[in-house]
């Protein structure tokens, strides 16, 4: 099992916090990075086409997502509990943790899945309920394939999906990668905190 980070920053609820990126900005406020053009992004939003989901904390926003922290490029997506989430990019299932308590427990990450993309990056999907990950280690998954359902395990004060991409090993303190999503509506280069996004067909 991978030793992932101590999250903690996912425990907050929804508000209109500061640190929001403006539509079309090259980088989120305070983030030391350039983001890919969404039209050419390798990633799609981690939910089914046609569905709308609101962000919680986005990149370089606050708490454990603050600039300079390992999770500065993470997103919290505020799903209803038990909602399916999908692979933002295809790859191989590296790690599945599926036995932690559905609420709290399991350290910071709770139940999660790590998808290796084959280019040195991996996608991390955190906070599922016990038994909520439906793929197996070693399995190859396609972009848009259901990986599991959302919950509040680990340091998650409310149901959401904590998603991020890392370069190299998914071991804390890992190196986050800034990503954009080619099917987000509105088509912000950097997803903003506390904004609703519809997943377009791709």
CA distance 41 to 133: 25
Lowest mean pLDDT among 32-41, 63-72, 84-93, 149-158: 63-72
Domains of the chain: 39-183 (2.70.70.10)
Q: How far is CA 137 from CA 10, 89, 91, 196, in A?
A: 25, 16, 11, 32
Q: Tens digit of pLDDT for each residue in 93-149?
A: 999 999 999 987 656 789 999 999 999 999 999 999 999 999 999 999 999 999 999
Rounded to 5 degrees, φ, ψ at 145 are: -75, 140
Residue position matching structure tokens 């990668």: 177
Which pLDDT band, with edges at 50, 70 and 90, does 23 fall under? very low
Q: Kindly report, residue by residue over 153-198, the tens digit of the pLDDT.
A: 998 888 999 999 999 998 888 899 999 999 999 999 999 999 999 9
Asked if pLDDT for residue 12 goes beyond 80, the answer is no
Instruction: Round to whole Å and give the CA distance between 68 and 31.
Output: 8
């Amino acid at each position: 099992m991978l030793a992932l980070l101590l999250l903690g920053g996912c425990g907050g609820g929804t508000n209109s916090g500061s640190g929001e990126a403006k539509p079309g900005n090259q980088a989120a406020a305070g983030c030391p990075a350039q983001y890919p053009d969404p039209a050419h992004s390798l990633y799609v939003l981690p939910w089914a086409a046609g569905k709308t989901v609101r962000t919680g904390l986005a990149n370089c926003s606050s708490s454990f997502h603050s600039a300079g922290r390992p999770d500065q490029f993470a997103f919290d997506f505020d799903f209803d509990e038990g909602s399916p989430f999908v692979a933002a990019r295809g790859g191989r299932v590296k790690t599945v943790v599926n036995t932690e308590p559905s609420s709290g427990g399991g350290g910071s990450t709770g139940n999660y899945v790590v998808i290796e993309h084959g280019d040195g990056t991996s996608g991390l999907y955190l906070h599922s309920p016990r038994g909520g990950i439906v793929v197996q280690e070693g399995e190859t998954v396609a972009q848009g394939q259901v990986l599991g359902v959302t919950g509040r395990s680990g340091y998650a004060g409310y149901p959401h999906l904590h998603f991020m991409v890392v370069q190299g090993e998914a071991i804390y303190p890992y190196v986050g990668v800034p990503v954009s999503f080619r099917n987000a509506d509105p088509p912000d280069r950097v997803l903003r905190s506390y904004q609703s996004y519809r997943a377009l067909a791709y």
